[in-house]
Amino acid sequence: MIEREQVLHVAKLARLRLSDAEVEKMAGELSGILEHVDRIGELELDEVPPTSHVVDLENVLRPDEPRPSWPREQVLAQAPDPADGAFRVPAPQDED
């Protein structure tokens, strides 16, 4: 079981301020996590290949192939304030 002092040490490293109730809760939760890690360590995993995901991932996106763009005039016709063949956007405001 994780001791209170260990939880306080980790909280200090993470710059967390924990109440007494939170320290007790974290001690239980961290102890549970370490118990699960110990159980995983007991498994025979020599024949299991390393994986990054449980299931195989497939690329479901279409291939990225160049294609013609929309005409500039058609796109800029919908802009509220175009200028010199481009979109005009307001200058960023200073946030003080």
| 24: CATH | 1.10.20.60
Q: What's the confidence (pLDDT) of residue 16?
A: 95
Q: Under the phi-then-psi rule, with left for phi > 0, alpha for psi from -120 to 50, and beta for the rest, what region is 25?
A: alpha
Q: What's the confidence (pLDDT) of residue 52?
A: 80
- Summarised one tens digit per residue, pLDDT across range 27-55 is 999 999 999 999 999 999 889 888 888 88
Dig out the tokens for 10 from the structure.
Answer: 């980790």
- Does 85 reside within a domain? no
The 8-class DSSP code of residue 37 comes to H
Q: What's the confidence (pLDDT) of residue 29?
A: 95
Q: What's the confidence (pLDDT) of residue 94?
A: 65
Q: Which residue segment(s) compose the domain that 31 sits in?
A: 4-41
- Summarised one tens digit per residue, pLDDT across range 53-65 is 888 778 778 888 9
- Count how many domains the chain has: 1
- Does 8 reside within a domain? yes
- Does 74 reside within a domain? no
- Does 14 reside within a domain? yes
Mean pLDDT within 9-35: 95
Tell me if 12 sits within 8 A of 26, measured CB to CB.
no
Q: What's the confidence (pLDDT) of residue 48?
A: 87
* pLDDT over threshold 60, residue 96: no
Place of tokens 């939880």: 7
